[in-house]
Amino acid sequence: MADTRTWLVEIGTEEMPPKALAGLAAAFEQGIKDGLDKAELTYGECQCFATPRRLALRVHDLPMRQADRRKERRGPALGAAFDANGQPTQAALGFARSCGVSIETLGRLETDKGAWLIHVGIEPGNATAELLPGIAQNALNALPIPKRMHWADRDDEFVRPVQWVVLLWGDEVLPASLLGVPAGRETRGHRFHHPDPIPIADPQDYAQLLRSPGRVIADFNERKQIIKQQAVAAATSVNGCAIIEPELLDEVTALVEWPVAILGNFERRFLDVPPEVLITTMQDNQRYFPVKDAGGQLMPHFITIANLESKDVAQVREGNERVIRPRFSDAEFFWLQDCKQTLGSHYELLKSVIFQHRLGSLYDKSERLAVLARHIAEHSGGNPDWAEHAARLAKCDLLSQMVQEFPELQGIMGRYYAQHDGEAPEVAQAIREQYLPRYAGDELPTTATGRAIALADRLDTLMGIFAIGQIPSGASDPFALRRAALGVLRILIEGELALDLRKLLTHAARHFDPTLQADTVVEPVFDYILERLRGYYLEKNFSADSLEAVLACQPACPLDFDRRLRAVAQFRQLPEAASLAAANKRIRNILKSVDDTVSMQIRPDLLSEAAEQTLAGRLAELSAEVIPMMEAGSYSDALTRLAALRESVDGFFDQVLVMVDDPTLRENRLALLNELGGLFLRVADFSRLQN
C-alpha cells in the first residue's frame, strides 16, 4: 500500500452567487489547508476547482496516518514523590496508576527550578481517513457566507442547496456526510450537455472526466483564460478590441461551466448615445463585453458568453440582440429627453433634494460649493468664474432621467449635458472630475476647475458632518469621510496645490448656518485629515518616526508636509544624520527643564569657550543661508547644508558644560541650544527620529 494518497472533496450545489464564487473557493481552500495544518498532516499540491454548481479541492500526497506524537506528563515533585526511606508516596503511586505504568518506569525531569517525576509516552496518530470529513465540514462552516439558506426539511445551511457530495480517499469513498448529504463518488456534468452522474474511480481523473464527457471546465482560472481568449478572438473578427474589466471577467467565469463566446450586433444609431451609457448597460445589465476600435471608439458589437454549445448559434445571437435593443432604446430616449433642456435648468429643482436634513438641500450645498470653489480657484491659479459656475452645475445631472436610471453615471452625464449646452470645455470636464478620486489609487482631476470643485465638495462634506456631530467611529463611516479626507490630501499633494488647509476649512465654515457653529470644528477636521497622512505615507514606505517628526510641527499645507517628509527621508541617508538627530534629542531633553523666565537671546560676549564660539559662528552663518531656503520650501537643500553643523555640534557637547553653576553662562548656552534646535524645527522635530 502506498504511503500517501490523494484526497478529493466536491460539494455540488444549485447555481451559486457569481460575485461570491471566487471568494468562496479561495476561502474553502484556505479552510482545508488550515485544518490539515492543525491536524499536523503534511500534504503536497492543492488544486482548487470552482464552477457555478460546485466547490472542489484535490489534495495530493497526504499520509495515511498522523505521525505518532511524544506525550510528556509531569507528576509530583521528587520531594513529594518519595518518603525519607526512599519509598514512593501515595502521590507517586497514584500518578503511576493514572499513567497506566509501574512506578519503576517513570522518568525524572531535572531543571534549575526543581525535579519531578515524568511519564513519557507515545500517542499514536489517527488514521487520516477518520480526520478528513471533519476537516472538510469545518472548512464549509467557516466560509464567508453572509446569509445561509435552508432547503427542504433539513437543518443544514449553505449558500445554495447541496445536491451531491464527493469524498474520495484514493479510490475509496469515505463513509461520511457533509451538509446532510451522504458522500459518494459520482459528480455531475453540465446541466444540459451531460446531466447524468459521472463516477470517479480515482481523484486524479476528476478534472478530465468533467471535461469529457461532462463538458465542464472545472478549473476557475483555466475557464477564465478560455473566456478571455474567446472574447479577444471574437472582437478581432470585426477588427475590434474587447473591453474586458477584471471584475466582469470573474463574474462571467462564475456564471458558466462550458463557455462559448458569441459576437452580437446592435444598430449603429445607438452610438450617438454617450458610450459610458451603452457600456454600463452591456456590462452591468447583460454581462456582455463591449467592443471598441483601434482608436478607442465604441463599435456596434458586443460579446456574450453562452454556457453551452448551441446547434443554432444564430438563434442565440438574435436572442441576445433582442434583449439589448430595448435597453439601448430606453437609454436613447433618456438622452434625447434630457438634451431638450439645459443642465442649469435643474438648479432650482435641487432645493427639493435633501443632502442632509440639518445641512440642507443639494441647492444649499451647491451654493456653499460655489463660494468655496471660487476661493480655491483664486488661490490656486484657476479661473474663479469657471469654478463658481461649474460648482452650481455640478449636482444638476442628478435630476436628469439618465442619472436617475443609471446613478453610477453621475458626473459623467453632467459633462455630456454641459458639452451639449456649449459650456466651456473645462467647466464640462470639471463636472465629471468633482468625483475624483473615487477610491484609493484612482485618477485625480486634471483641470484647475475640477480640482477646485473636488476639493470644495469634500471639504464642505467634512465640515458639515463634523458640525452636526456625525464623526466616524470605528469601522462606521456612512458619509465616507475617510475617503473624502484622503481625496483632499491626494489632490493637494499630488496636484501640487500649495494651499493652507486650515484656512480652507475656516473659509468653508463661514457659509454654514450659524446655528451649527461650524467654526468650532475647524481644528478637529484639520486633525482628522492630517491623521489620514499616516496610512497614505506608510503605504509609500516612509518610516513611522519620520512621519511623527513632521506631524509634530503640524504644517498647515499638505504639500508643504510632503516636501518636509521627503526632505527628512533624504536627510536620513546622510552620514551626519544620526549624530544630529541624537543632538536634537539631547537639546529637547535639556530644554524640557527650562522655565519660561529664562531669556533665549544669545549674547556673543558671553561665549567663553572655543567650541561654543565655533558653534555660534557656524549657526549664524548657516541660518542666514538656509532660512530663505526653508521659507521657499527647499527643505532638502536646507537640511543638506545643515549637515555641515555636525562637527561643531559634536565639539560643543564634548567640550562645553551647558548646566554650569554660573546662571548667566548657563542661560546663554541654553539660548544657543534653543536656536540650534529651533532651526531644525523649521522642518521637523528631529528628536523623534529613531537611530
Q: In this predicted model, what pLDDT tens digit does every residue of 611-658 receive, in sequence order?
A: 889 989 988 999 999 999 999 999 999 999 999 999 988 898 888 888
pLDDT band at 1 (very low <50, low <70, confident <90, very high): very low
SS (H, E, C) 209-241: HHHCCCCCCCCHHHHHHHHHHHHHHHHHCCCCE
Query: What is the b/e burial string over 314-343, where b = at least 16 CB atoms within 10 angstroms of the residue's CB?
Result: eebbeebeeebeebbeebbebbeebeeebb
pLDDT band at 2 (very low <50, low <70, confident <90, very high): low
Q: Residue 663: is its pLDDT beyond 80?
A: yes
| Whole-angstrom distance, CA of residue 691 vs CA of residue 683 | 18
* Structure confidence at residue 170 (pLDDT): 95
Out of 148-152, 234-238, 426-430, pick the least confident.
148-152
Residue with cell 523649521: 682
Average pLDDT of every residue of the chain? 93
What is the average pLDDT across 1-5? 75
Q: Residue 156: is its pLDDT beyond 70?
A: yes
Global pTM?
0.82
What is the average pLDDT across 491-510? 96
pLDDT band at 455 (very low <50, low <70, confident <90, very high): very high
- 498 in helix, strand or coil? coil
Percent of the chain with pLDDT over 70: 99
Identify the helix (H) or strand (E) that includes residue 292: strand 289-292
* Structure confidence at residue 227 (pLDDT): 98
| Domains recognised in the chain with CATH numbers | 4-65+127-211 (3.30.70), 69-123 (no CATH), 220-338 (no CATH), 351-541 (1.10.3210), 576-688 (1.10.730)
* Structure confidence at residue 564 (pLDDT): 95
Q: In this predicted model, what pLDDT tens digit does every residue of 237-266 receive, in sequence order?
A: 999 999 999 999 999 999 999 999 999 999
Q: In this predicted model, what pLDDT tens digit does every residue of 201-229 receive, in sequence order?
A: 999 999 999 999 999 999 999 999 999 99
Q: Residue 427: is its pLDDT beyond 80?
A: yes
Identify the helix (H) or strand (E) that includes residue 333: helix 313-338
Q: Residue 415: is its pLDDT beyond 80?
A: yes
Q: Residue 597: is its pLDDT beyond 70?
A: no
What is the average pLDDT across 285-312? 96
Q: In this predicted model, what pLDDT tens digit does every residue of 617-627 receive, in sequence order?
A: 988 999 999 99
Asked if 104 and 88 touch (Cβ cutoff 8 Å), the reply is no
What is the average pLDDT across 98-121? 86
